Structure 1
Amino acid sequence: MGVLTISDVRKHYGGQDVLKGVSIDITDGEFLVLVGPSGCGKSTLLRMIAGLEEINGGTISIEGEIINELAPKDRDIAMVFQSYALYPHMTVAQNMDYALRLKKIPRKDRDDRIARVAEILGLTPYLDRMPKQLSGGQRQRVAMGRAIVRDPAVYLFDEPLSNLDAKLRVQMRFEVKQNHARLKTTTVYVTHDQVEAMTMADRIVVMNDGRIEQIGTPLELYDHPANLFVAGFIGSPAMNMIEGTVADGLFTAADGTTIKLGDLRNQVSGDIVLGLRPEHFVLDPAGIEVDVLAVEPTGAETQVMIRLAGQPVILTLRERRSFIPGETITVRPDPSMCHLFDAATGANIRPDQSVT
């Protein structure tokens, strides 16, 4: 069992607050991803769970037992680091065996565990090799295997894929999730890559400046961001943001461009920021005339940068047609998919709310 509870956890270095009262309830077997920009406190929180950083306030508990004062080795937690942290003088098998020997597990049980995990991770042919004889992806599998053989209550991953090339990152994302589905062990995974977060998480915790901005499933955060920060951070390409005012269901940008909003927005009025996902535009002869600034074909989709309301805006289109920088096209935002954010607070505005 691995129910992990983080209650009002705080951390400071000197006079600087790094974590400002973080609370998360993580269920047994959940794959939770902490995501946010560099310096937001996500890796610090992970290291506090592992016992590698002192907790200045609040509590962390596993299955109801507070572990604040427990040594790292007594927390029933295994951690996979960004740098792999393998012992260079030990073979793959010896790296995986090291923690088991410290726990004085009988040799046969250790060998059985290593053989089982090596089979799962495709490491059986490499058990007698040294880390320097392995590729980056194989080293990362060894680091994962060393954690898995311990059979802990909780796994911690600290940006484990950031040193891999793009193709290998995609492959390893799949393998990490596949192993989680097989093992069903509670996992906390830190990344600054929101694509990793979206593709891997059961739930995502979006952090910023030592605080939690929003917790939810990937699609909850994508479809219903709580505020401008989450809306801009979750999604690739990012959500387009246009400042203006809204009244009677009509958005007006600073340059006079108007966009008709859905009927549910008729009660919203005041200064707002309009949020539009790149895929929520269609080509429409009766739409808004815009100039094409740049074109990025990706195969299945085409990213088109246009100038809308006096600023660059990204469109994601599936139409197989050519666009030329400098040409004029007509587009229409989907009014039912518009997000409105309070210009003063950044909060997402519900259809029954008004702003001043």
Structure 2
Amino acid sequence: MGSVNIAQARKSYGALEVLHGVSVNIANGEFVVLVGPSGCGKSTLLRMIAGLEAISGGEIAIDGKVVNTLAPKERDIAMVFQSYALYPHMTVEANMGFSLRLGGAPKDAIKARVAEAAKMLGLEDYLKRYPRHLSGGQRQRVAMGRAMVRKPKVFLFDEPLSNLDAKLRVQMRSEIKRNHQRLKTTTVYVTHDQIEAMTMADRIVVMNGGVVEQVGSPLELYDRPANLFVAGFIGSPSMNILSGRLENGTFMTADGTAFAVPGMASFGNRDVRLGIRPEHLCLDPNGLRAEIVTVEPTGSETQVMMRLGGHDVVGVFRERVVNAPGEMLPVSIDAERAHIFDPQTGKRLEA
């Protein structure tokens, strides 16, 4: 295993700087997910760790050794890409053992390592097959096995599940996490899918515009987002954000919709953004009246898009909602779980 320490890492393409001094420390055996919208710099940072992109400033160290100028093969890392990148003329067994053969490993050692990885990944019956005879999920397992046989200090995953259908993505998420729990190899995983990040990570690094917005465990980011960006990005459906004003512990929107927000009186009278998770809206016959826009039943729950206080909001209810669009739905807000943000800085305000 190996730690990864990134200190003030910068990346520029000519005059264009795409990473602006990123610092992240990843401990031995930790599973860290880099997440953010397209173009935020997460894949660029991963490629810098791998040595596939030169670092423009700062420092990257693996297991305490600065690797800024080292070639990828000298960093003791293994990378799994979005594309499987398998050799079509080689069997599964040959694909998985290829890097070891290049390194001059003995045949018996290669065979043993490939067999060990194949057993972990459920590929024992496919070793003599060629990639064209495999499903997408099986090909991705082979790509993972090719990385595993090297027994590197660090695994790097660059959106490995993007090409899979929804059911396979769920299955592969579980397999990757289960294998990490077995191997305890330090893992850095890039995705734009925050559900992947929430379900797999020990810690999540949320990136936006080449900077780190927040680092923390999945539930830390979900329960205490540092700013409006993290609040809106983490969670599906995302947090509802309402603009309004606090007056003596009461939140009021521009159209006069008002409700008490316990514990927020200490903020005084000021303009704020109020955030509320969709599951913290409740059906309440004595609550506020919201106009239904759409109703989306999923079986176990119902998602309802509504117009409330001049804002489009989403509620997630365990109850079955049979009302039609245009009808009014009485709802209340679990105000004790509300978040208050500064409208200028976007930062979460602490009570």
Question: How much does 1:87 deviate?
Answer: 1.2
Aligned residue pair count: 350
Match status 1:180 vs 2:171: no
Question: TM-score scaled by structure 2?
Answer: 0.98
1: CA distance, partners of 2:241 / 2:320: 26
1: CA distance, partners of 2:190 / 2:135: 23
1:186 partner amino acid? T
Q: Compare 134-143 and 327-336 and name the one that shifted more.
A: 327-336
Which position in structure 1 is the counterpart of 2:244?
Answer: 244
2: CA distance, partners of 1:213 / 1:31: 19
2: CA distance, partners of 1:329 / 1:74: 62
Which position in structure 1 is the counterpart of 2:151?
Answer: 151
Which position in structure 1 is the counterpart of 2:123?
Answer: 123
1: CA distance, partners of 2:329 / 2:321: 12
* Structure 2: runs of 5+ lacking an equivalent: none
Which position in structure 2 is the counterpart of 1:214?
Answer: 214
Which position in structure 2 is the counterpart of 1:34?
Answer: 34
1: CA distance, partners of 2:172 / 2:287: 43
* Structure 1: runs of 5+ lacking an equivalent: 352-356
Question: How much does 1:62 deviate?
Answer: 1.2
Which position in structure 1 is the counterpart of 2:264?
Answer: 265
RMSD of aligned residue pairs (Cα, Å):
0.8
Which position in structure 2 is the counterpart of 1:354?
Answer: none
Question: How much does 1:323 deviate?
Answer: 2.2
Match status 1:285 vs 2:282: no
Contact 2:297 2:320 (8 Å CA) reproduced:
no
2: CA distance, partners of 1:75 / 1:328: 60
Contact 2:60 2:66 (8 Å CA) reproduced:
yes
2:26 partner amino acid? I
Q: Structure 1 stretches (4+) deviating beyond 4 angstroms? A: none
Question: How much does 1:322 deviate?
Answer: 1.8
Which position in structure 1 is the counterpart of 2:317?
Answer: 317
Question: How much does 1:321 deviate?
Answer: 4.1
Question: How much does 1:290 deviate?
Answer: 1.4
Match status 1:2 vs 2:8: no
Which position in structure 2 is the counterpart of 1:233?
Answer: 233
Q: Compare 87-96 and 52-61 and name the one that shifted more.
A: 87-96
1: CA distance, partners of 2:320 / 2:210: 44
The DSSP-based 3-state class of the residue aligned with 2:279 is coil
Spell out, residue by residue over 1:301-344, the C-alpha distance to the aligned partner (whole angstroms, 9 max, x if none).
Answer: 10011110112110000013422212112111001011110000
The DSSP-based 3-state class of the residue aligned with 1:267 is helix
Which position in structure 2 is the counterpart of 1:107?
Answer: 107
Question: How much does 1:285 deviate?
Answer: 1.8
Contact 2:136 2:164 (8 Å CA) reproduced:
yes
Q: Compare 318-327 and 54-63 and name the one that shifted more.
A: 318-327
1: CA distance, partners of 2:77 / 2:190: 15
Question: TM-score scaled by structure 1?
Answer: 0.97
2: CA distance, partners of 1:87 / 1:98: 10
Which position in structure 1 is the counterpart of 2:19?
Answer: 19
Which position in structure 1 is the counterpart of 2:137?
Answer: 137
Match status 1:340 vs 2:340: yes
2: CA distance, partners of 1:85 / 1:321: 47
